[in-house]
Amino acid sequence: MTQNRKVAAIVLAAGKGTRMKSDLPKVMMPLCGKPMIRHIINTLESMHVDKIIPVISPDGALIAKEVAPYETALQEKQLGTGHAAICARSKLCGFEGDILVMFGDHPVITKETLKKALRKKQEGYSVVVLGFHPKDALRYGRLIMNGDELVKIVEYKDASDEEKAINFCNSGVMVFDSDTMFDILSSISNENAAGEYYLTDAVAIARRRGLKCGAIECDPDELSGANTQEELAALEKYHRPQ
């Protein structure tokens, strides 16, 4: 992979997807005839990623079957994205390299984009975030930059008017260094309105420890997720070969 460094990928796939109005887990919803998570697995396989760990909920048997033979990690309770990522820790004992954290409902992200993030990581960053400039920033979290360095990720509801005017937004896809990732994640607090552990807090924690964080810009269409049938239909239109 990048400079012969090993790469692992944690795929967060424990979401229920109630807004899909389907009994299927969200990541099992079909896109161009295949479950969304299968598109991601295929992309990671095409990159020859060394380890793939999907994180599933206790009722994720369908997902576990779909991603086999890859071993899944279990998130017993949905306590936020930071908590979901740390649930994969035991599956990565002894792993040394770069760790991608991505979402099972982002099925059209390309290997070129993921490789771009991994290359950025090699420039001396401990954390790299994939960002994008949407047509309408709506309520996305904002990436606050200082030159080439990512200072923090601020959620829309917590952003000042000045920060809301920034339209460089957080996709949720991140790259970590195995040496520091789980130490950072274990320091994330759930002292917020939702009582959840947010992956986005990793940037502030890393910077407090003197670690360098960065971001790269990607195609907004590629970083689109699907939470509703309408969004899934839009992804299908984007993804289907012309």
- Say yes or no to pLDDT of 98 above 80: yes
Residue % of the chain over a pLDDT of 90: 74
Q: Which residues of 159-169 are buried (b: 16+ CB within 10 A; e: fewer)?
A: beeebeebbbb
Query: For the chain, what is the domain count?
Result: 1
pLDDT of 242 reads: 40
Q: Please report the DSSP string for the chain in residue order.
A: -GGG-EEEEEEE-----GGG-SSS-GGGSEETTEEHHHHHHHHHHHTT-SEEEEEE-TT-HHHHHHHTTSPPEE-SS---HHHHHHTTGGGGTT--EEEEEEETT-TT--HHHHHHHHHHHTTT-SEEEEEE--S--TTPPEEEEETTEEEEEE-GGG--HHHHT---EEEEEEEEETTTHHHHHTT----STT----GGGHHHHHHHTT--EEEEE--TTTT---SSHHHHHHHHHHHS--
Confidence of residue 157 (pLDDT cuts 50, 70, 90): confident
Domain around 229 = 2-239
Please tell me the distance from the alpha carbon of residue 216 to that of residue 214, in angstroms, as a whole number. 7
Contact 224, 113 (CB under 8 A): no
Residue with tokens 């195995």: 178
| Weakest mean pLDDT among 71-80, 173-182, 220-229 | 220-229
Q: Please report the DSSP string for 6-45 in residue order.
A: EEEEEEE-----GGG-SSS-GGGSEETTEEHHHHHHHHHH
pLDDT of 119 reads: 96
Active site (catalytic) residues: 19
Residue with tokens 């003197």: 210
Confidence of residue 152 (pLDDT cuts 50, 70, 90): very high
CATH number, domain with residue 185:
3.90.550.10
| Weakest mean pLDDT among 122-136, 171-185, 201-215, 224-238 | 224-238
Q: Specify the pTM.
A: 0.93
Per-residue pLDDT averaged across 8-29, rounded?
Answer: 83
